[in-house]
């Protein structure tokens, strides 16, 4: 059985106070790293039970994330290729280094702490507009947008290895899938969707592979209102997803 670590969090008002200071460092990431980043904070909030993550373990997480950031060009603005590299490797690096429980990973205040206390220098670098949904855990859409939270859940649901979907899929496909909790709440269904997409070379579909993927997602959401995917066998689920794929493909591209 995995021994999960308990991570600290930040209350909403405390997170807002730190967030309000980030814009001062948008053009000085070195100072952000030196002055803001820490493995401790005096307003940290902890769950009462469980093994608290040690400062040394937090330092390890920070080191792993910074090494990835360095590979992707930090502190210089990342190129499009570097952004893709970051998006594809971050889920594995973060998930592997944290040993976090899904229960903790569902808490916004923990992602506020990790984003604003542990690696604010990376938050500002990757999202220089410093939108609260991206760099805090309390924004109105932070559950789907926080740059660390989204990456962790991609690895948790789809896998953290180098040949798993987070490392292979285009960012737009992952966004399209994970902003539809009706699909990702059943991990097996989410995995099957991307498995069929990759096996059938979905990225080679022309024109507009993104629109094609969205249509599959929407059709499966509608079908999920009348079919309980969780009671289907693996083979039945695969056949269902493949059927939706083929039906859309037969009439692609749609006539305007």
> How much of the chain exceeds pLDDT 90, in percent?
80
Phi, psi at residue 195, to the nearest 5°? Answer: -65, -45
Q: How sure is the predictor about 1, in pLDDT bands with cuts at 50, 70 and 90?
A: very low
Share of the chain above pLDDT 70, in %: 99
Helix axes 187-199, 147-158, angle to 10 degrees: 80
**To the nearest whole number, what is the mean pLDDT of the chain?**
93
Q: What is the mean pLDDT of residues 41-67?
A: 95
What pLDDT, on a 0 to 100 scale, did the predictor assign at position 141?
85
Model confidence band, residue 71 (pLDDT cutoffs 50, 70, 90): very high
The whole-number average pLDDT for the span 142-154 is 92
Amino acid 244: pLDDT: 96
**Residue 255 clears pLDDT 80, i.e. is over it:** no
- Per-residue pLDDT averaged across 207-221, rounded? 93
Lowest mean pLDDT among 1-5, 20-24, 81-85, 158-162: 1-5
Beta carbons of 232 and 222 less than 8 angstroms apart? no
**Alpha carbon distance 213, 241 (integer Å):** 12
| Max intra-chain CA distance, the chain | 59
**pLDDT reading at 31 higher than 90:** yes
pLDDT > 70? residue 2: no
- pLDDT (tens digit, 9 = 90+) per residue, 93-131? 999 999 999 999 999 999 999 999 999 999 999 999 999
Whether pLDDT at 167 is above 80: yes
pTM over 0.85: yes
The CB-based long-range contact list for 11-20 (8 Å cut-off, 24+ gap) reads 11/43, 11/45, 11/109, 12/109, 12/112, 12/138, 14/43, 15/109, 15/112, 15/113, 15/116, 15/136, 15/137, 15/138, 16/136, 16/138, 18/116, 18/117, 18/120, 19/116, 19/130, 19/132, 19/135, 19/136
């Amino acid at each position: 059985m995995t021994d999960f670590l308990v991570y600290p969090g930040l209350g909403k008002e405390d997170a807002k106070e730190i967030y309000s200071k980030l814009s001062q460092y948008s053009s000085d990431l070195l100072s952000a790293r030196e002055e803001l980043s820490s493995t401790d904070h005096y307003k940290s909030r902890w769950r009462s039970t469980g093994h608290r993550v040690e400062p040394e373990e937090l330092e390890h997480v920070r080191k792993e994330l910074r090494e990835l950031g360095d590979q992707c060009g930090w502190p210089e603005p990342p190129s499009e290729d570097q952004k893709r590299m970051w998006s594809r490797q971050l889920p594995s690096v973060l998930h592997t280094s944290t040993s976090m429980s899904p229960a903790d990973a569902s808490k916004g205040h923990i992602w506020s702490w990790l984003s604003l206390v542990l690696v604010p220098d990376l938050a500002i670098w990757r999202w220089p507009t410093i939108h609260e949904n991206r760099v805090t855990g309390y924004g109105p859409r932070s559950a789907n947008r926080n740059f660390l939270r989204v990456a962790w859940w991609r690895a948790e649901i789809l896998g953290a290895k180098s040949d798993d979907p987070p490392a292979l899929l285009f960012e737009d496909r992952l966004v399209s899938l994970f902003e539809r909790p009706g699909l990702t709440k059943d991990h097996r269904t989410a995995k099957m969707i991307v498995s069929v997409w990759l096996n059938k070379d979905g990225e080679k579909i022309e024109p507009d592979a993104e629109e094609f993927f969205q249509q599959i997602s929407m059709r499966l959401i509608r079908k999920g209102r009348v079919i309980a995917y969780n009671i289907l066998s693996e083979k039945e689920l695969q056949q269902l997803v493949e059927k939706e794929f083929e039906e859309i493909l037969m009439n692609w591209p749609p006539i305007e």
